[in-house]
Amino acid sequence: MKPITARTKLLGVIGNPIQHSLSPLMMNAAFDASGIDARYMAFEVSDLESAVSGARSLGFIGLNVTVPFKEKVLPFLGSLSPEAELAGAVNTIVFGGSPEGHSTDGIGAVTAIKERGLYLGDADVLILGAGGAAKAISFAIAEAGAEVTIANRTVSKAESLSNALISAGYSSLYCSLSDIPLTKKYSLIINATSVGLNGEPSLLPDLPKYVYAMDLVYKETDFIAKAKSAGAKIIPGLDMLLYQGAAAFELWFDEKAPVDVMRSALEAKNVDH
Task: Assess whether 190 and 256 both reside in one domain.
Answer: no
Q: Is residue 205 part of a domain?
A: yes
Domain contains 142: yes
Q: Is there a single domain that holds both residue 24 and residue 48? A: yes
Residues of the chain with pLDDT under 70: 1, 270-273
Shared domain check, 155 and 264: no
CATH of the domain at 15: 3.40.50.10860
The verdict on residue 247 lying in a domain is yes
Q: Is residue 3 part of a domain?
A: no
Residues 25, 141, single domain; the answer is no
Whole-prediction pTM: 0.93
115 and 220 both lie in a single domain: yes
Cα distance between residue 198 and residue 81, in whole Å: 32
218 and 176 in a single domain? The answer is yes
Q: What pLDDT is stored for residue 79 in this prediction?
A: 97
SS (H, E, C) 1-28: CCCCCCCCEEEEEEECCCCCCCHHHHHH
Q: Are residues 114 and 218 in the same domain?
A: yes
Q: For residues 127 and 217, state if they share a domain.
A: yes
Verify that 95 and 187 share a domain, yes or no: no
**CB of 160 within 8 A of CB of 137?**
no
What pLDDT score was predicted for residue 29?
97
The Cα–Cα gap between 121 and 123 comes to 6
Q: Per the domain annotation, does 4 fall within a domain? A: no
Q: Which residues form the domain of 82?
A: 9-103+239-272
90, 100 Cβ separation under 8 angstroms: no
In a domain? residue 129: yes
Q: Say yes or no: 166 and 65 in one domain.
A: no
Residues 6+ apart with CB under 8 A from 45: 14, 15, 16, 18, 51, 69
Whether residue 48 lies inside any domain: the answer is yes
Closest CA to 132 of 198, 82, 66: 66
177 lies in the same domain as 133: yes
228 belongs to the catalytic site: no
The structural domain count of the chain equals 2
What's the pLDDT at 66? 95
The sheet carrying 79-80 orders its strands as 38-44, 9-15, 62-65, 92-94, 100-102, 79-80
CATH number at residue 175: 3.40.50.720
* 175 within some domain: yes
CA distance 119 to 80: 29
Residues 72 and 178 in one domain: no
Which of 2, 9, 70, 228 is catalytic? The answer is 70
Q: Write the single-letter amino acid at 164.
A: A
Neighbour-count burial for 9-40, b at 16+ CB within 10 Å, e otherwise: bbbbbbbeebeebbbbbbbbbbbbeeebebbb
